[in-house]
Structure 1
Amino acid sequence: MSNLPEILSLTRTVAWEAANILRSYYNGTESKNLNTTYKDDEPVTAADMAVNQHILQRLQAELGNLEFTYITEETYKTGQSPQNHTPWAWIIDPLDGTRDFIEKTGEYAIHLALVQEHRPILSVVAIPEAEKIYYAIKDGGSFVETINGTTKPLKVSSDKPLEDLTLVVSRSHRNQRLNHLLANLPCQNHKSVGSVGGKIATIVEQQADIYISLSGKSAPKDWDIAAPELILTEAGGKFTHFDGSPLLYNTGEINQWGGLLASNGEHHQILCNTAESILQNFSPQE
């Protein structure tokens, strides 16, 4: 698609607009009107729905829906996602980190990714409370833009010994297997951050080096991972399954099952192999 730079410009604008809407709910005029409900034990707020509607209306008004499938967390849950999986798909999370949003940690994000043939080729991640957006086009590098319009390229950390790497971890999505894995890795520096988008932002900002996702009763979904993945890989990092296989999106299966590792890339395969070995020796009784 030759007009990717134009689509990226539109997507960045939409991301800033969406960030302003979320902030109005978070600490502004709509802060008392979240109307929180729960679906599959996950919270959904009026902010999720308002931003979801805004993003879809803006993208579809400019781009239409003939070439594109639109898959969002909120429309998927309500059965409104189109079933015809076109080669081009928008995968959108209007509010990644809803629990953090409700609990006022400030660590929530907006994810927008354009996927071609199951792989992301354009993405934007907005971190509203940091007043930043991160963006990338496949083979075009990864960048961060601040609210005042300054932009800089991003590059992951390098030349760190394995034991000095910092893991960015979740506060809420934890289970016994993941805790066992984290406790037995050779790198024991941990940093807690909400939202997958926020976690990947810490890696491309060189505040952390590794993120691990390990599915239990549930798994991260396409909209949790697609946009952050491209931001990371275009900054020089890697994001794969433990066996090294790539993550695939818009396949008809929204769950990203198994072990997933995001890193600065330098010790990626060693960490994948180590993680698999640690988990082979895991017993729930431990």
Structure 2
Amino acid sequence: MLDLACRTAWGAADVLLKHYQSPMEVREKVDGPVTAADLDADRYILETLKADCGEETFAYLSEETLGGNERFTRPLVWVIDPLDGTRDFIDGTGEFAVHIALVEAGQPILGAVAWPVRKRVYAARLGAGAFVEDPEGQRLPLRVNPVDTLEGCRTIVSRTHRDWRLDALLAKIPKASQIVRGGLGCKLCSIAGGEAEIYIGLSGKTAPRDWDLAAPQIVLSEAGGRVSRFDGTPLSYNREDTNLWGGLIATNGITHDRWSALLPGVLEEVEKS
């Protein structure tokens, strides 16, 4: 199944690149923009997975096609984001990705994240570690950077999804440096590859959803990192509400418990100011 996810992610990346930096029609949704690239990649992924897996055992949950209640009755659910980082895709930053995860009992058991402009797929299976794959099929192990102090952590932050609370919180925490990056998948895969050590996200009018995090989470977790709510509570997927409200952190794992102990108090201080 992981090979299928990787092949499908590569194919969807090709679909996106055909649209990239071409004239595009952008339609606004409640939670952000959508383009023909989103829809074409979504169609490709669903057709590819359904041709191989069918719909008797597997259900499908996608950003562009939410599907029906069958996702609550079937044991395995493909959770798909055909274009994570649509705004970065439109703006031409190169920091967008394809997410494909397989979820069982609320947790991802495998996932693939394609970063089309980098020509890389980051992938993992539960208990088997994470790797990054190049277009020739060569796979190299992924491992987080073992920084063990909060002061030594490089913080990776969103280019667009930020508000005054997050900026104020970031100003109050220890960090070695601050890196700006686009899509959530690109951020978490950057941590998995040792390019940063912590990502902090706060929901506002909107929140990340299952398809934003399921695939990147298993890649980062299998590379040695962790993803949770601010207080350390693990995430759960394929619930009725696919929004992941509140504060979220993704780290190199080593520093995770210390960040979980620190951040709720810092956020409370910020919100009182």
The correspondence for 1:228, drawn from 173, 196, 216, is 216
Counterpart among 38, 43, 59 of residue 49 in structure 2? 59
Matched, 1:175 2:163: yes
CA distance in 2, matches of 1:281, 1:200: 27
CA distance in 2, matches of 1:112, 1:11: 6
Tell me the matched-pair count.
271
2:35 alignment partner, one of 30, 45, 51: 45
Amino acid at match of 2:191: I
1:18 is aligned to 12
Q: Is residue 14–residue 58 contact of structure 1 (8 Å, CA) maintained in 2?
A: yes
Match of 2:134 in 1: 146
Moved over 2 A (4+): none
Is 1:88 matched up with 2:76?
yes
Deviation at 1:41, TM superposition (A): 4.8
Q: By how many angstroms is 1:161 displaced?
A: 2.5
Q: Alpha-carbon deviations, 1:201-237, whole Å to 9, x = none? A: 2111111010111111111000000000000000011
1:35 equivalent to 2:21? Answer: no
Equivalence for 1:3: none
Change (3 A) 1:8 1:87: same
Mapped to 2, the partners of 1:166 and 1:250 lie a distance apart of 31
Task: Provide the rounded CA distance (Å) in 2 between the counterparts of 1:188 and 1:39.
Answer: 37
Q: Normalising to structure 1: TM-score of the pair?
A: 0.92
Give yes or no for contact 1:72–1:93 (8 Å, CA) kept in 2: yes
Q: How far apart are 1:83 and its partner, in Å? A: 1.3
* Superposition CA RMSD, Å: 1.2
What SS class does the counterpart of residue 75 from structure 1 fall into?
coil
TM-score by structure 2 length?
0.96
Counterpart secondary structure, 1:224? helix
C-alpha displacement of 1:36: 1.1
CA distance in 2, matches of 1:280, 1:237: 25
Q: Percent identity?
A: 44
Contact 2:200–2:250, Cα closer than 8 Å, also in 1: yes
Which residue in 2 is equivalent to 1:8?
2
Please say if 1:253 is aligned against 2:241: yes
Q: CA deviation at 1:184?
A: 0.6
